[in-house]
């Protein structure tokens, strides 16, 4: 195996170190966050959205230090509501392009060609092409030791394409053709290896799907 000590990591060029550290945690979710502010709509790709709890329903995401303008963060702080939209294989090139530094006032919906979808529940658009659309609202934020911000959000509504939701409310990401992100720029397709029964110490591991 190739070993990296804290000293050898420190000696790596900054971009190479960022590429390495961003990838070692594995495949993460790939989502577009849509917000609305004084200058219009904003759409940005995120790979840090994670489940925090179901009762109440909470999600979390990481924002990098506020040393430069963060349009998504500012819009969420000012207007509270935002939407999370899962990315599929056909959406990848356009979704990745939203990471470009467009000036405030330029909507990434228009710049990359996604269709905004509005619902009566909020003033913020969803991404019509996305098979999983979540309406969230700002809850709390926590400053981390590296000056990044962990923002937590309450879930106000969920919309899922019918072909991706099982009778027990299991969301089948393979069926929906969603993707994950490795590191900063690598996109992976999802394939269901299997579902397993609830693990108990006195029972063998049991696969429940596919049988």
- pLDDT of 100: 94
What's the mean pLDDT in 89-110? Answer: 95
- pLDDT of 39: 87
**Alpha-helix runs per DSSP H in the chain:** 6-11, 14-23, 71-79, 92-97, 108-112, 173-176
What is the number of alpha carbons within 13 Å of residue 38 lying toward its C-beta? 3
What's the gap between Cα 38 and its chain centre?
24
pLDDT tier for residue 211 given thresholds of 50, 70 and 90: low
Are 92 and 147 within 8 A, CB to CB? no
Asked if the model's pLDDT at residue 139 lies above 80, the reply is yes
What's the mean pLDDT in 140-152? Answer: 96
Domains defined for the chain, CATH in brackets: 25-209 (2.30.110.10)
The whole-model pTM stands at: 0.94
Question: How many percent of the chain have pLDDT more than 70?
Answer: 100
Measured CA to CA, the distance from residue 124 to residue 80 in angstroms comes to: 10
User: How big is the CA angle at 169 (ends 166 and 172), to the nearest 5 degrees?
Assistant: 50
Asked if the model's pLDDT at residue 146 lies above 80, the reply is yes
């Amino acid at each position: 195996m190739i070993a990296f000590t804290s000293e050898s990591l420190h000696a790596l060029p900054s971009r190479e170190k960022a590429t390495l550290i961003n990838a070692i945690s594995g495949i993460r979710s790939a989502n577009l966050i849509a917000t609305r502010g004084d200058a219009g709509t904003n759409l940005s790709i995120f790979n840090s959205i994670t489940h925090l709890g179901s009762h109440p329903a909470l999600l979390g995401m990481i924002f990098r230090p506020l040393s430069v303008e963060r349009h998504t963060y500012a819009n969420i702080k000012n207007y509270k509501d935002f939407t999370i939209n899962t990315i599929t294989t056909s959406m990848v090139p356009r979704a990745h392009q939203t990471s470009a530094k467009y000036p405030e006032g330029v909507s990434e919906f228009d710049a990359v060609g996604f269709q905004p979808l509005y619902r009566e529940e909020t003033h913020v658009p969803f991404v019509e092409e996305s098979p999983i659309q979540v309406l969230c609202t700002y809850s709390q934020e926590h400053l981390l030791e590296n000056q990044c911000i962990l923002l937590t959000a309450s879930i106000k509504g969920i919309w899922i394409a019918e072909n991706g939701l099982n009778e027990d409310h299991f969301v089948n990401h393979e069926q929906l053709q969603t993707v994950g992100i490795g590191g900063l720029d690598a996109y992976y397709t999802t394939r269901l290896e299997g579902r397993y029964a609830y693990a108990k110490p006195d029972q063998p591991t049991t696969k429940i799907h596919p049988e």
